[in-house]
Amino acid sequence: MKIRPLHDRIIVKRVNAEEKTASGIIIPDNAKEKPSEGEVLAVGSGRLLDNGERHVPDVKVGDRVLFAKYSGSEVKVGGQEHLILREDDIFLVLDR
C-alpha cells in the first residue's frame, strides 16, 4: 500500500529502541521509552503560505530524523505502526 501525506505532514517509521544499556543491562519491554528517532517514509507537498506559494519540506524520503517525544499521531497502515508528524515537529536530520 502506498501512502501519500498531505501538505506539510511527514510519515515516519520509528527505529527500534535499544535492547540494553551501555553497561550491558537488558531493558525490559515495559521500561522502554518510545524512541524519538525515525526514518522518513513519505513527505507531503509542503505548507501553503499566505502569499499562495508552497514551502517545500526540508526532509526527504530515507532521511533519519529526531522529533519531539510526544508529537505526532500514531497510525497503523498495512499492519505496521507509523507516526504522522508536521515538519515543525522535526528537530534535525541525522547524517550517518
pTM of the prediction?
0.75
pLDDT tens readout for residues 43-96: 998 888 899 898 888 899 999 999 888 888 898 888 888 899 998 889 999 887
* Secondary structure (3-state) at 57: coil
Pairing assessment for the beta strands 37-43 and 9-14 based on DSSP bridges: antiparallel
| Cα 85 from Cα 28, distance rounded (Å) | 28
Torsion angle defined by CA atoms of residues 12, 13, 16 and 17, in that order, rounded to the nearest 10 degrees: 40
Instruction: Domains for the chain: give ranges and CATH numbers.
Output: 9-18+29-94 (2.30.33.40)
